[in-house]
Amino acid sequence: MPAAVVFDLDYTLAVPDRDRETILTDATAAADAPSLSRDAYLEAHSRHLTGESREPIFEELLEPYDTSADPEAVAAAYRQTIADSLRPLPGVESMLEELRSEYRLGLLTNGPIRAQRDKLETLGWESAFDAALVTGELEAGKPDPRAFEAILEALGVEPADAVYVGDDIDADIEGATRANMDAIQVVLEDTKPDPRATAYVEQKRIAAELPGILRSL
């Protein structure tokens, strides 16, 4: 049985009540910015996994446009729009309390500091984990092994004694296994089980099934 459990945040423990394309559209409209595609945003985001805010992401996205929109204002609008829509998955908060009585509990989430810390504050989860790291605070983001090494060090455990729980095949499953951790894949409706994962749990069943999966390891 593992000594520590480390979680991803987005789409593993919490989800927005609107699709991300709509959230991005609403945020750019609120900031009087041109409409931006979700795919372009994700590409830019992948190049800015460390840092303070999403401002560099929107600077990059707005650069081709003839616009006076302020990247800082767009980043603020996007952060607020996400905060207004973010919800914990059903039963997750009681699950975290239960697991924390048995394991060291960690969080490792990709993204700029202000964006991801704001999500934790919005959810009221600032003290829900024994250690919570945002890759904006680190040298590298997931799937780089250095990100996983940082959370393991913060929790005081070895890779063999920890399991990572996340939904993203590249960032979470590949990253955790490269760092010599077991990985439990949170399976979404549009994803398939990855053979590198040690176990699988459907997103909507995570609170009900994850504690039993962990005890079976």
For 98-115, how does the pLDDT look when each residue is reduced to its tens digit (9 = 90+)?
A: 999 999 999 999 999 998
The CATH number of domain 4-15+87-216, selected from 3.40.50.1000, 3.40.50.10190, 3.40.50.1370, 2.60.40.10: 3.40.50.1000
Query: What letter would DSSP give residue 45?
Result: H
What does the DSSP assignment read for 1-32?
--SEEEE--BTTTEEESS-HHHHHHHHHHHTT
Give residues with Cβ within 8 angstroms of 82, minimum separation 6.
Answer: 16, 23, 27, 115, 119
What average pLDDT does the chain have? 95
Is the predicted pLDDT of residue 83 greater than 90, yes or no? no
Q: How far is CA 79 from the centre of its chain?
A: 14
Which pLDDT score, from 0 to 100, does residue 180 have?
98
- Measured CA to CA, the distance from residue 148 to residue 140 in angstroms comes to 10
Which pLDDT score, from 0 to 100, does residue 49 have?
86
Question: What average pLDDT score do residues 135-154 get?
Answer: 96
Which ranges in the chain belong to alpha helices (H)? 20-30, 38-46, 55-62, 71-85, 92-100, 113-123, 145-155, 175-178, 206-216
Neighbours of 205 (CB within 10 A): 15
For the chain, what percent of residues have pLDDT higher than 90?
92
Domain ranges in the chain are 4-15+87-216, 20-85
56-70 pLDDT tens trace: 999 999 999 999 999
Is the predicted pLDDT of residue 161 greater than 90, yes or no? yes
Q: Which one, of 209, 106, 186, 214, lies nearest residue 154 by Cα?
A: 106
Strand partners, 133: 108
Is the predicted pLDDT of residue 9 greater than 90, yes or no? yes
Question: What average pLDDT score do residues 82-86 get?
Answer: 90
What six digits make up the tokens of 187? 């399976």
- Measured CA to CA, the distance from residue 179 to residue 30 in angstroms comes to 41
Give residues with Cβ within 8 angstroms of 18, minimum separation 6.
Answer: 26, 85
Which pLDDT score, from 0 to 100, does residue 1 have?
85
180-207 pLDDT tens trace: 999 999 999 999 999 999 999 999 999 9
Which pLDDT score, from 0 to 100, does residue 20 have?
87
